[in-house]
Amino acid sequence: MRLILNVFSLFIVSLCVACQPSEPAAAPAQTGEASAAQPAAPTAADAAAFVRDAERRLEELGQYSERVAWVYSTHITDDTALLAAKASENMTAAQVELAGQAAMFSKVEGLDADTERKLNMLRSGITVPAPSDPEKIAEQAKIGAELSGMYGKGKYCPSEGECLGLSELEAVIDNSRDPAELLEAWNGWRTVSPPMKPLYARQVELANEGAQELGFEDLGTMWRSGYDMPPSEFPGELDRLWGQVKPLYDALHCHVRARLNEEYGDEVVSSDGLIPAHVLGNMWAQSWDNIYDLVGPEESDAGYDLTAILNEDGFDAVSMVKTGEAFFTSLGFEPLPETFWTRSQFVKPRDREVVCHASAWDVDEKEDLRIKMCIDVNGEDFRTIHHELGHNFYQRAYNQKSYLYRSSANDGFHEAVGDTLSLSITPDYLQQIDLLEEVPDASGDVGLLMKTALEKVAFLPFGLLVDQWRWKVFAGEVSPEGYNDLWWQLRADYQGIGAPNERPADAFDPGAKYHVPGNTPYTRYFLAHILQFQFFKALCDISGHEGPVHRCSFYGSEEAGQRLNAMLEMGREKPWPDALEALTGTREMDATAVLDYFAPLQEWLDEQNASRQCGW
The residues annotated as belonging to the active site are 357-358, 387-388, 391, 415, 515, 525
C-alpha to C-alpha distance for 492 and 49, rounded to whole angstroms: 50
Eight-state DSSP code of residue 279: G
C-alpha to C-alpha distance for 244 and 492, rounded to whole angstroms: 19
Q: Which long-range contacts (CB under 8 A, 24 or more apart) does 41-45 make?
A: 41/108, 42/104, 42/105, 42/108, 43/108, 43/110, 44/108, 44/109, 44/110, 44/111, 44/112, 44/115
Which residues, including other chains, have CB under 8 Å from residue 112's CB and lie 6 or more apart? 44, 48
Q: Where are the beta strands (DSSP E) in 310-402?
A: 359-362, 369-372
Distance, C-alpha 32 to centroid of its chain = 55
Q: Return the bridge partners of 371, or none.
A: 360
Of the chain, the end-to-end C-alpha distance in Å amounts to 41
C-alpha to C-alpha distance for 427 and 445, rounded to whole angstroms: 10
Which of 584, 567, 570 has the alpha carbon at shortest distance from 117?
Answer: 570
Burial class (CB in 10 A: 0-12, 13-18, 19+), 329: middle
**CA separation, residue 13 to residues 88, 103, 196 (Å):** 8, 18, 18
